[in-house]
Structure 1
Amino acid sequence: MDDAGRAPGTGRPPPQPAGGAGGTRRAGRPAVSPAPGAEPAVSARTIVGVSGGVDSSVAALLLRDAGEPVAGLFMRNWADDGSGDCRAEDDRRDAVAVCGRLGLPIHFRDFSSEYWSGVFEHFLAEYAAGRTPNPDVLCNREVKFKHFLDAARELGAERIATGHYARVEHAGGRWRLLRARDRSKDQTYFLHQLGQPQLAATLFPLGGLEKAAVRRLAADAGLPTAAKKDSTGICFIGERDFREFLGRYLPAREGEIQTPDGQRVGTHPGVFYFTLGQREGLAIGGVRGRPAAPWYVVGKDVRRNVLYVDQGADSPWLMSTRARTEAAHWIGGAPPAPRFDCTAQTRYRQNDEACTVTVDEDGSLGVAFHRPQRAVTPGQSLVLYDGDECLGGAVIAGTDAPLEARLADLAA
């Protein structure tokens, strides 16, 4: 942000929360009042984050049916930017309908300013630096399990619940984050930045359920979200054209697409729009002397505005055996040991990969994979597991992929 409050590269101020800019607030300002005046006090012990989707709807259903004193809270985390793409109002209506069906009170909070400063500014800075960030991880840490939890406590609740697919248990004197029963839906990758205080105050009612069972429960209860499509895309921003969306905030310019040996094979609309291993959107036609095989992104030089590609999904230019990270976060408060073996995921839904982790004095990690890995991407999260337990993780800073060392030499 510049001194005038403009978003980087846009010349315009960021979207403002509903109700206008300015003022201070605690744990988000009420975006909608259920009745004129202050929100009524409730005796709910647990506040469920109701998003207007089927998962949070069933989380609320399960807690209500278990006799838990519960209320819902709908978070608005992205202000309308005039694109018409934000579906927050549709989601809000669905959340209201679900709570009405279940006979639960519902509260509303606007965290769009908190999302902008705690998540989105970092998202833009990472893309501007040529990295590929994971805003869902930050959104969980900075919004859902920080400001939402604070808001729930201000309402008098002891804890929160969400529709995430994960499990929490207390064993050995500490709280542990465990994978969900439905491994295809497990979301511990996105939750690895949580700590002991958050886990102690959080319920994940869906952790022991398969997704199909969740939809059946919603249908049996007559919930209006039973058949609603799962949301995808950037956390809280929705399913919109990524290139068009990012272009509003980061000015892009065309540049060359080259092979690692310097052969020009096309032009790109902006290096920000591409990530390692990507095939789509390159628009590379036939290249003389090259086979008719797909091209993949193998590197980016933001300073020179060059996108590097090679043919083959498993190009050697994409492979690495080691990764370096920024300072790690440990769910239990500390690493298991200065050096230990475990498994890792470098992207969501990746199969576990065996590795050896060395913890450096500054808290960063050196990770040696037991077999070569494809497209380990700076900016993404490297998340560590011991069986079903999520130990924590860190942001990937770099790898030993061959092109990365060459680009570092060019920048020196």
Structure 2
Amino acid sequence: MDTPFGLPVPPPARVVVGLSGGVDSAVTALRLKRAGYDVLGLFMKNWEDDDAFGDCPAADDIADVQAIAAHLDIPVQVINFAAEYREQVFAHFLAEYRRGRTPNPDILCNRQIKFGVFREHALAQGAQAIATGHYAALRRTGDAAELLCPADHDKDQTYFLHALTQAQLAPAGFPLADLTKRQGRALAQEAGLPVARKKDSTGICFIGERPFREFLSRYLSAEPGDMLDADGRAVGRHVGLPYYTLGQRQGLG
């Protein structure tokens, strides 16, 4: 069966879209609505910090999500997965830094949250499929789903999705697969989406862009020590292993 966007079901099936308040997820919802799907937006609030020095305040994102939903005339829900995020993603993130390793939380976040508890919640709400604003593509052969690169290779996010299981990919679709970022923004502007000119988010998954050392110091205690060369000679001091990464060449002082 040939269905839009790699989804497992044709219109007018109910599709739950993960809305972040950004342009990518907004265009995702727009394309699904135009294709004839019954679209429900869902915003995941996964961080309970006061966001005092964050660049991604949840209140602003929720307001943008509500504006997107109103513009597209789709219902929207706000769901709190903060406990699941801390237990399944952030705890591992901190544990890796304690060991002197640099994790990629986006991979675990996608597997455990966006395609884990989000997927389960969406299906429990009666959804027949889910969609996100990732730049990736799916090819379905029988019951198998194959993750493929999108049209925009500069925005390719398949690396961050590579740990997903077949069960997690089964209800999924990626409506941005055939678009470049520039085309997506142009589509958002043409449709009058209120976030068409909003800048892209950066930083840790669901936490946002922050002064990283300051943020990490709130959760990990620093244990300064000597920096040694290959012969064991002290060549300087470090402020604690969590603040460095393997292969780092700059910012060691």
**Cα pair 2:135 2:152 within 8 Å, conserved:** yes
Quick check: 1:97 aligned with 2:67?
Answer: yes
Once the two structures are superposed, residues 361-392 of structure 1 have per-residue CA deviations (whole angstroms, 9 ceiling, x without a partner) of xxxxxxxxxxxxxxxxxxxxxxxxxxxxxxxx
Q: Aligned runs of 1:8-157 on 2, under 5 Å?
A: 45-81=14-50, 83-85=52-54, 87-157=57-127
What SS is found at the alignment partner of 1:118?
helix
Larger RCO (CA within 8 A; separation ≥ 6): 2
Conservation of the 8 A alpha-carbon contact between 1:64 and 1:70: yes
Residues 100 and 82 of structure 1: CA distance in aligned 2, closer, same or farther (over 3 Å): closer
Q: For 2:167 and 2:142, locate their aligned partners in 1 and report how far apart those are by CA, in whole Å.
A: 16
- Supply the RMSD in Å over aligned alpha carbons: 1.6
1:82 Cα deviation from its structure 2 partner = 6.0
Partner of 2:176: 206
Report the alpha carbon displacement of residue 88 of structure 1 after superposing the two structures with TM.
1.1
Matched residue, 1:194: 164
* Aligned equivalents of 1:64, 1:52: Cα separation in 2: 17
Aligned with 2:236: secondary structure? strand
Query: What's the TM-score, normalizing by structure 2?
Result: 0.91
* Residue 218 (structure 2) aligns with: 248
Shift of 1:93: 0.8
Quote the offset at 1:188 in angstroms.
0.8
1:260 to 230, 235, 242: 230
TM-score normalised by the chain length of structure 1 = 0.56
The residue aligned with 1:217 is: 187
- Alpha-carbon distance between aligned partners in 2 of 1:87 and 1:147, rounded to the nearest angstrom: 22
- Please give the residue correspondences for 1:280-299 in structure 2 after superposition, counting only pairs within 5 Å: 280-283=250-253
Please give the per-residue CA displacement for 1:45-90, whole angstroms capped at 9, x wherever unaligned: 0010000011000000100111111110000011124635251111
The 3-state SS of whatever aligns with 2:187 is: helix
Contact 2:133–2:174 (CA<8 Å) still a contact in 1? yes
Contact kept, 8 Å, 1:161 with 1:202, in 2: the verdict is yes
3-state SS of the aligned residue for 1:59? helix
Q: Is the 8 A contact 1:75 1:109 kept in 2?
A: yes
1:44–1:156: 8 Å Cα contact kept in structure 2?
A: no
1:201-350 equivalences under 5 Å are 201-283=171-253
Post-superposition CA distance 1:82-138 (Å, at most 9, x none) = 635251111111111111111111011000000011111111111112221111111
8 Å Cα contact 2:17-2:41 kept in structure 1: yes
Relative to its length, the structure with more helix (as a share) is 2
Contact 1:52 1:91 in 2 (8 A): yes
1:191-226 Cα offsets, whole Å, 9 max, x none, are: 111111221100100011111101111111111211
Aligned-residue sequence identity (percent) comes to 56
Deviation at 1:158, TM superposition (A): 0.8
Distance in 1 (CA, whole Å) between partners of 2:66 and 2:126 is 21
User: How much has 1:254 moved relative to structure 2?
Assistant: 1.8
Mapped to 2, the partners of 1:196 and 1:184 lie a distance apart of 25
Alpha-carbon contact 2:99-2:241 (below 8 Å) kept = no
Distance in 2 between residues matched to 1:70 and 1:169, nearest whole Å: 22
* Amino acid in structure 1 at the alignment position of 2:113: V
Q: Which has the larger radius of gyration?
A: 1
Q: Distance in 2 between matches of 1:99 and 1:108?
A: 12
Q: Tell me the distance in 1 between the aligned counterparts of 2:170 and 2:242.
A: 39
5+ residue gaps, structure 1: 1-42, 284-412
* Inter-CA distance 111–44: structure 2 relative to 1 (3 Å threshold): farther
Structure 2: where are the runs of 5+ without partners?
1-11
Preserved CA contact (<8 Å) 1:160 1:201: yes
Deviation, 1:273, is 0.7
